[in-house]
């Protein structure tokens, strides 16, 4: 069916997720998953009915309260109490697409039939996604250990009419929206609150969202770096294949190949060069961009495993006749990887700012600050300041979250990942890199235009032509923040003729 994604245990990929988000797919539940979900629920109910021993989180309290048994008539109240008491995410509301991803990823995890939830619960999560009823989730509160407890609790309060949602671009009490849509509040069954709250969907949704941005930004780094190389009258020699075959890191080889391809046919690159060597920020693009690409690909592998995993607790294994309490909710794999991703992204911004600095420095026959009549005009002096400020902030944000741990739940949860903080700060780093690259693009385009009438390659000329539709050549001083904002929006749109064919 067109524009429809059926949730099933089948592997969810980044390509598929991007397709779902960009094309505004509706979600459905496959027959296979309906069977798995119902089978798990039936098994759980039968186990509770015949069990004489306490089952963690199902007939007991939670965390350090696991030693307290709960009566059968209070099992549903236990689960709704859990969600209400744990809904402590505070701070800024997270982006809508991340909320959508949280709903999608949780539905996908529950579809594997190892959580013991009601079919109606998963169907309501899907309904919220499809009707664009987005629970209000905020960016602070998760320790990333017993799952993303606080933000996931806020995500699922609306199932039974609590909390707030964003609906038709307005924040409103969920109870009002449920009434408007004719949805009855759900009564949570045994284990359901725990299944909803134990999980890594806050961390993993941020990770997916940030990686989708990272995949695009590493392409921009090569494109914009190539334009800067042209504007700086740089050499092609450091990008020739033999150098990289002698040190065959895959990201390094890919970057060198990309830059050779991007500059193929350029008049500028064929010019005889006065300088025998370029600064590291130009000639080491394959090594630096390439290392970041390799890191991003590693993190993507970890995240793809995570989003196709069962991360709530306890976990139900029907075929093995077992309900096991473990620690699949612990966010350490994501916390470490997200810290790594933040560092890899920050380095793309760091080397970009250095290229910007070189372009405005008056080297290689470029006018100081890339503007005529400098002195009267400050030209591109202060955009570099802005880029330097953002680079510095990224360095501060790259202090790893995963090395910290503050015990919780009366020491029952005595080692936590802090992956929630790693997730939100890594997104900030990626957004900052987008800003830094946009500033470099402004400078690079100006430097290339100052070298006219020569021409770059067909691809670069097409790219610059599209850029010049939103940011024009700078003849003299003007308000610069508007140009920076336009350059950022240009990159966010992210679709350029011929780009996919080249990189």
Apex 35 CA angle, 32 and 41, nearest 5:
140
Q: What secondary structure does DSSP assign to 6-75, as a single string?
A: EE-SSPP-HHHHHHHHHTT-EEEE-HHHHHHHHHHHHHHHHHHHH--S--TTTTB-SGGGTTSB--GGGH
- 84 neighbors 157 (Cβ within 8 angstroms): yes
User: For residue 203, what pLDDT is reported?
Assistant: 98
Tell me the backbone φ, ψ of residue 4, rounded to 5 degrees.
Answer: -140, 130
Tokens for 378?
Answer: 């400050």
Residue pointed to by tokens 């080249």: 502
Q: Determine the pLDDT at residue 501.
A: 47
Query: What does the pLDDT read at residue 235?
Result: 97
Helix H or strand E segment including 172: strand 170-173
Calpha distance 254→257 (Å, rounded): 5
Query: Across-strand partners of 62?
Result: none
> What pLDDT does residue 376 have?
87
Exposed e or buried b per residue across 220-248, where buried means at least 16 C-beta atoms within 10 angstroms of its C-beta = bbbbbbbbbbbbbbbbbebbeeebbeeee
Q: CA–CA separation, 91 vs 96, rounded Å? A: 15
Query: Residue 71: its pLDDT value, please?
Result: 62
Give the integer Cα–Cα distance in Å for 99 and 128: 11
Calpha distance 184→138 (Å, rounded): 25
Question: Strand pairing partners for 317?
Answer: 322
Element (H, E) at 261: helix 250-262
pLDDT digits (tens, 9 = 90+) for 142-173: 999 988 999 999 999 999 999 999 999 999 99
For the annotated catalytic residues, the residue numbers are: 56
In angstroms, the CA 113 to CA 9 distance is 9
Residue 428 CB: number of other CB atoms within 10 A?
Answer: 16
Dist. CA 349–CA 441, nearest whole Å? 12
- pLDDT at position 110, please? 97
Q: pLDDT tens track of the chain, all 503 residues? A: 559 999 999 999 999 999 999 999 999 999 999 999 999 999 999 988 887 776 666 766 555 555 666 566 666 787 888 899 999 999 999 999 999 999 999 999 999 999 999 999 999 999 999 999 999 999 999 999 988 999 999 999 999 999 999 999 999 999 999 999 999 999 998 889 999 999 999 999 999 999 999 999 999 999 999 999 999 999 999 999 999 999 999 999 999 999 999 999 999 999 999 999 999 999 999 999 999 999 999 999 999 999 999 999 999 999 999 999 899 999 999 999 999 999 999 999 999 999 999 999 999 999 999 998 888 889 999 999 999 999 999 999 999 999 999 988 877 888 999 999 999 999 999 999 999 999 999 999 999 999 999 999 999 999 999 999 999 999 999 999 999 999 999 999 876 544 554 55
Q: Residue 50 has what pLDDT?
A: 85
- Nearest Cα to Cα of residue 89 among 148, 161, 13: 148
User: How far is residue 348's CA from residue 269's CA, in Å, rounded to a whole number?
Assistant: 23
Instruction: Check: CB of residue 470 under 8 Å from CB of residue 490.
Output: yes
> What is the structure's pLDDT at 57?
60
d(CA 129, CA 21): 11
N-terminal to C-terminal alpha carbon distance within the chain: 31
Task: Write the DSSP string, 209-228.
Answer: HHHHHHHHHHHHHHHHHHHH
Q: For each of the domains in the chain, give its residue range(s) and CATH number, in order of start.
A: 4-199 (1.10.275.10), 206-502 (1.20.200.10)
Residue 178 is predicted with a pLDDT of 98
Residue 95 in contact with residue 352, Cβ under 8 Å? no
SS3 139: strand
- Pairing relationship of beta strands 322-324 and 170-173 according to DSSP bridges: unpaired
Which residue's structure tokens are 């539940």?
29
DSSP, collapsed to helix, strand or coil, labels residue 415 as coil
**Residue reference for tokens 């300088």:** 275
At residue 374, the pLDDT reads: 80
8 A C-beta contact, residue 158 and residue 166: no
């Amino acid at each position: 069916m067109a524009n429809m994604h059926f949730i099933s245990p089948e592997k969810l990929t980044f390509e598929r997720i991007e397709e779902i988000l960009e094309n505004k797919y509706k979600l459905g539940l496959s027959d296979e998953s309906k069977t798995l979900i119902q089978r798990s629920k039936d098994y759980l109910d039968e186990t509770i009915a015949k069990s004489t021993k306490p089952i963690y989180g199902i007939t007991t309290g939670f965390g350090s309260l696991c030693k307290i048994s709960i009566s059968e008539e209070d099992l549903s109240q236990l689960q709704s109490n859990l969600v209400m008491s744990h809904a402590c995410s505070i701070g800024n509301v997270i982006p809508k697409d991340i909320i959508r991803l949280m709903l999608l990823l949780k539905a996908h995890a529950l579809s594997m039939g190892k959580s013991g939830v009601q079919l109606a619960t998963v169907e309501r999560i899907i309904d919220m996604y499809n009707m664009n009823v987005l629970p209000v989730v905020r960016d602070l509160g998760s320790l990333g250990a017993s799952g993303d407890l606080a933000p996931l609790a806020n995500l699922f309060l609306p199932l039974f009419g609590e909390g707030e949602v964003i609906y038709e671009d307005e924040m409103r009490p969920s109870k009002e929206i449920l009434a408007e849509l004719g949805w009855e509040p759900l009564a949570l069954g045994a284990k359901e609150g725990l299944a909803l709250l134990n999980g890594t969907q806050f961390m993993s949704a941020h990770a997916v969202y940030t990686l989708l941005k990272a995949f695009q930004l590493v392409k921009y780094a090569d494109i914009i770096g190539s334009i800067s190389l042209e504007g700086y009258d740089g050499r092609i020699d450091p990008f020739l294949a033999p150098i990289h075959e002698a040190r065959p890191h895959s990201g390094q080889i890919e970057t060198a190949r990309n830059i050779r391809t991007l500059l193929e046919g350029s008049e500028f690159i064929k010019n005889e060069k006065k300088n025998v060597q370029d600064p590291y920020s130009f000639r080491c693009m394959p090594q630096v961009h390439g290392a970041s690409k390799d890191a991003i690909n590693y993190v993507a592998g970890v995240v793809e495993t995570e989003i196709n995993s069962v991360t709530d607790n306890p976990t139900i294994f029907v075929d093995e006749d077992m309900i096991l309490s473990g620690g699949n909710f612990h966010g350490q794999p994501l916390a470490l990887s997200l810290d790594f991703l933040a560092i890899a992204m920050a380095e793309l911004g760091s080397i970009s700012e250095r290229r910007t600095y070189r372009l405005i420095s008056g080297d290689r026959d470029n006018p100081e600050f890339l503007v005529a009549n400098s002195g009267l005009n400050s030209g591109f002096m202060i955009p570099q300041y802005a880029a330097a400020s953002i680079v510095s902030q990224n360095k501060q944000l790259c202090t790893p979250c995963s090395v910290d741990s503050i015990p919780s739940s009366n020491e029952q949860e005595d080692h936590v990942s802090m992956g929630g903080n790693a997730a939100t700060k890594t997104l900030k780093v990626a957004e900052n890199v987008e800003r830094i690259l946009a500033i470099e693009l402004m400078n690079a385009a100006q430097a290339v235009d100052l070298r006219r009438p020569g021409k770059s390659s067909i691809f670069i000329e097409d790219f610059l032509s599209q850029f010049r539709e939103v940011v024009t050549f700078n003849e003299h001083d003007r308000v610069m923040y508007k140009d920076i904002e336009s350059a950022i929006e240009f990159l966010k749109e992210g679709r350029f003729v011929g780009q996919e064919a080249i990189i």
